[in-house]
């Protein structure tokens, strides 16, 4: 089985990702390499059919103009050189000529088969995992998020019970989330799953901590520590650590011409004293392709098409110092909100939606009794890249239905508010 490859070489083109995605959309697999890649390396990529040298505004790095190794022109496959400059740098449609047409012509010139599809990709990855792991064992931190779930499914297909998944419940997950992980991966799939309920440890470590950044740091570090403890118990037995790294994680962690957007914790942030080799079967996939891959592997839709959920979970939505009472209000109100969004068909329309519980109370009245309880804040936003966001214009009857249910079903709260703030000035999360 072969999937032809068109290599893209990054010489400072801001539209690189869009070009790579367009080539894949046209049915040919593409990968992005740094400008100083050697001709030997490029030539060694399986089924290489063509090379696109992409130049642009970022061609000058730290005052020095960069270029490709000239030897890449002698590899023996067609080379297309494109250079894009100007203010529409993020818009592939702003190329001087119809870009899709240029790419289509180039694909034809290369004689590349347009056979890139998820079924073949999955089969190729399974072969690659088997070749890499041989008869070794693999460990995976399975959060239940899209990426780690798809990694679990593909690894299970490749190596079966030589995969061990560890699911750490930090007590800040949404209602029913850990149960769903156990149901899908242990009961239905039959994978080895170690479930660690570390809720109490996390709550204890977070007690009295108000500062959002400290909360994040505590949650992140304790998560790694708990996972390391489990890994150490298995060490000696296990040779590989699987990670749900995806292509944007690698690209956003900084190619050579683009400064890092943000440091992703699964790129370069590995625990120091645990010695595993890495398996990263999704590292060349974009997010929508990861979802297609999950579908191909038969994962349930609710696991693949879920809204983003931050690593620190409900911890950054239960504002200020976390208490059990407010954490439960956050979790229960979130469950009601998700249920109502689903009922109204909004779960497929709105990018991210959740509830937030602040750490102050207000006076109210319930059953003729004065109450002094917490408010629940609803947030529902749409965005393309999470850098900016707009508020979903929820219809009043929907808001009223959600409000009624939260006040009726969630103990400890007496008001519901709707956050009308776009990003900027607000961030999507409150902490």
Residues that bind ligand XMP (CB under 6 A): 216, 308, 310-312, 352, 386, 423, 427-429
Dig out the tokens for 229 from the structure.
């403890």
User: Sheet of 79-84: strands edge to edge?
Assistant: 29-34, 5-11, 48-56, 79-84
Residue among 245, 255, 288 at smallest CA distance from 14: 255
- Residue 167 CB, shortest distance to ligand XMP, in Å, is 17
Q: Which residues pair with 112 in a beta bridge?
A: none
- Residue 352 CB, shortest distance to ligand XMP, in Å, is 5
Residue 419 CB contacts under 8 Å (≥ 6 apart), including other chains: 356, 377, 378, 379, 391, 426
Choose between 136 and 212: whose C-beta lies nearer to ligand XMP. Answer: 212
- Residue 312 CB, shortest distance to ligand XMP, in Å, is 5
Choose between 371 and 382: whose C-beta lies nearer to ligand XMP. Answer: 382
Residue among 281, 251, 262, 308 at smallest CA distance from 18: 251
Cα separation, 24 vs 297, in Å, equals 20
Burial of 221 (0-12, 13-18, 19+ CB in 10 A): exposed
- Residue 310 CB, shortest distance to ligand XMP, in Å, is 3
- Residue 265 CB, shortest distance to ligand XMP, in Å, is 8
Is 212 in a helix, a strand, or coil?
helix
Choose between 15 and 355: whose C-beta lies nearer to ligand XMP. Answer: 355
Choose between 38 and 427: whose C-beta lies nearer to ligand XMP. Answer: 427
Cα separation, 81 vs 309, in Å, equals 40
Cα separation, 122 vs 282, in Å, equals 10
Choose between 100 and 382: whose C-beta lies nearer to ligand XMP. Answer: 382
Choose between 236 and 424: whose C-beta lies nearer to ligand XMP. Answer: 424
- Residue 353 CB, shortest distance to ligand XMP, in Å, is 11
């Amino acid at each position: 089985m072969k999937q032809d490859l068109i290599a893209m070489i990054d010489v400072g083109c801001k539209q690189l990702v869009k070009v790579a995605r367009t080539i894949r959309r046209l049915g040919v697999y593409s990968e992005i390499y740094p400008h100083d890649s050697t001709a030997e390396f490029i030539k060694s990529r399986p089924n290489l059919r063509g090379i696109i040298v992409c130049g642009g505004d970022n061609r000058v790095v730290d005052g020095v103009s960069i270029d490709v190794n000239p030897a890449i022109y002698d590899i023996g496959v067609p080379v297309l050189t494109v250079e894009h400059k100007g203010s529409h740098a993020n818009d592939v449609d702003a190329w001087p000529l119809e870009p899709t047409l240029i790419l289509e012509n180039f694909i034809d010139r290369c004689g590349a088969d347009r056979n890139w599809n998820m079924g073949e990709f999955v089969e190729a990855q399974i072969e690659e995992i088997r070749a890499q792991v041989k008869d070794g064992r693999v460990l995976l931190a399975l959060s239940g998020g899209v990426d780690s779930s798809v990694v679990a499914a593909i690894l299970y297909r490749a190596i079966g019970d030589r995969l061990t998944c560890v699911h750490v419940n930090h007590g800040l997950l949404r209602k029913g989330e850990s149960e769903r992980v156990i149901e899908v991966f242990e009961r239905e799939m039959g994978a080895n799953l170690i479930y660690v309920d570390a809720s109490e440890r996390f709550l204890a470590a977070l007690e009295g901590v108000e500062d959002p950044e400290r909360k994040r740091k505590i949650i992140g570090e304790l998560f790694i520590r708990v996972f390391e403890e489990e890994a150490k118990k298995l060490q000696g037995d296990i040779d590989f650590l699987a990670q749900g790294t995806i292509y944007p994680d690698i690209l956003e962690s900084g190619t050579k011409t683009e400064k890092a957007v943000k440091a992703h914790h699964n790129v370069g942030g590995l625990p120091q004293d645990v010695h595993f080799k890495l398996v990263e079967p999704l590292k060349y996939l974009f997010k929508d392709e990861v979802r297609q891959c999950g579908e191909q592997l038969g994962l349930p839709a609710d696991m693949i098409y879920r809204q983003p959920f931050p690593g620190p979970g409900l911890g950054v939505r239960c504002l200020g110092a976390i208490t059990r009472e407010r954490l439960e209000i956050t979790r229960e109100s979130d469950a009601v909100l998700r249920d109502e969004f689903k009922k109204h068909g909004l779960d497929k329309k709105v990018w991210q939606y959740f509830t937030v519980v602040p750490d102050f109370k207000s006076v109210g009245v319930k059953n003729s009794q004065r109450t002094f309880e917490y408010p629940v804040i609803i947030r529902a936003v749409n965005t393309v890249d999470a850098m900016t966001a707009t508020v979903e214009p929820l219809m009043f009857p929907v808001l009223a239905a959600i409000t009624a249910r939260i006040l009726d079903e969630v103990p400890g709260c007496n008001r519901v508010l709707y956050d009308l703030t776009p990003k900027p000035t607000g961030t999507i999360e409150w902490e």
